[in-house]
Amino acid sequence: MNIRTILFAISVAVLLAGCKIQFAALDGGEIYAQTEGFVCSEFRKCTANVVDTSFNESFLARPKEGYAFDGWVNGTDYFCGGKRGSCDLSTTGFEGNTALLDVIDSDKEFYLVARFKPECYTGESELGGMYREPLRLCREGSPYTVTADIQLGPEAPFFVDPGVTLASTSPTGNTLVSYSNVYLLGKPQKKVRIRDINIATNYSGQTSTIDINHTIMTFPRTKELSTPSLDMVFTEAGGYARITDSEIHAGVFFNADSNSRVISTVTTGKAPIVATRIERNTFVDGGLLLLVDKDIFIRNNLWLGESTEIIIRRAGASKVVANYNSFLATTPQLGGISLGGQWTNSVIVEPRSTGQNIDLKSNFWGTTNRTKIADEIWDANDTFEVDVTASFRPILGKPHPKTPTTSG
């Protein structure tokens, strides 16, 4: 056994020693556990308990007709990320290892998520109207143009492949409303480009996954309102929500309340399979309004332009963790939109948002002056109507190396 194999075996053992594996099959297939003969079907959130060092299972992703397996989803605490074959997980052979037994006794959770893709769309490059079947836009047909507003039904998840451009022909933009899942799946050298299209999800009891990576999104601005690029509902059906390595111009909404229109919104609705992650993005003229019911991690993001970067409206007992970000946006100018008059703050905790933990440690604010940074945060130090104080020390003296810079 070579050293690479040994290191791999050790790392798998440490990870697998958690007490639970949460797994889910996204649109278009199922996960089959060969040893136990158990099937986790499409849209279900399943659990495998790891209670000792005899766990040994091989998981297979099985696509349904018209779909192909696109690999195991990659991410923190995800197993087999990026792999396309079976996912073989085992804790056998580690009896007597105190460290492993301690982790088995812990509440640690790990994740195994299978993603499938439908066949490429082969219709006209001009899009508009209602779609009842899955819609996957592939690079071979790019660029695509939107000539009228689009609706995607509950059985029509939306996929955009690396290198695809999707643009509206209207000077005021168009709207794409999805009643299913949304996957904008760019790559570092093959970014997805979405121009002048407001992408919205509509709660249908099924929507569970919003996965956006390596995507550049722009949308027309008006004097009356910062128009959102994304307006999304995230629900409990066993998926996840994340935006990574993307560049978003104008507002971003993950919105549970259609009447809330303050810069941008992130919501998880009920508990997803994993915590929401917003990492390594550049936001221009747009922030995040958080309505969350499970932990959310906001790391290594850059804010530019005009915006209040983070607004916490409702968080229940969840943790809001925002580390290694660069808060460099200036005071927003949004006219008649009201947010209690707290326009000059970078981070705002709204009244009655409950007593969740708000971690703002290790961020770059453009200054190391504690008084000035405290003035950027609206919390219990500013009003008796807020019952939580955000912690912001230590402070970064320069941007974190993994955070995007203004020079790109």
Q: What is the mean pLDDT of each run of 10 residues along the chain (408 residues)?
A: 31 49 90 91 82 84 96 90 92 68 72 94 95 96 96 93 96 87 95 90 68 89 51 59 88 48 34 77 84 81 88 74 94 46 74 77 96 92 88 96 85
Residue 128 lies in a domain: no
Residue ending a domain, among 75, 97, 117, is 117
Is the N-terminal amide bond of 134 cis, ω within 30° of 0?
A: no
Residue 236 lies in a domain: yes
Residue 138 lies in a domain: no
Query: Six-digit token pair at 366?
Result: 């453009």
Residue 232 lies in a domain: yes
Shared-domain flag, residues 232 and 339? yes
**Which amino acid would we find at residue 122?**
T
Shared-domain flag, residues 243 and 112? no
C-alpha span between 270 and 265 (Å, rounded): 15
Residue 85 lies in a domain: yes
DSSP state string for 348-396: EE-TT--S--EE--S-B-S---HHHHHHTEESTTT-TT-----B--S--
Shared-domain flag, residues 213 and 113? no
Residue 185 lies in a domain: no
Shared-domain flag, residues 227 and 354? yes
Shared-domain flag, residues 113 and 215? no
Q: How far is CA 397 from CA 251, 328, 365, 400, in A?
A: 28, 13, 8, 9
Find the CATH number of the domain harbouring 9: 2.60.40
Residue 77 lies in a domain: yes
Residue ending a domain, among 67, 91, 117, is 117
Task: Write down the pLDDT at residue 58.
Answer: 94
pLDDT tens profile 348-399: 888 776 656 889 999 999 999 999 999 999 999 988 888 889 999 999 999 9
Residue ending a domain, among 117, 149, 181, is 117
Q: Where in the sequence is the domain holding 26, given as residue range(s)? A: 3-117
Question: What domain count does the chain have?
Answer: 2
Shared-domain flag, residues 218 and 367? yes
Looking up tokens 């168009």 gives 174
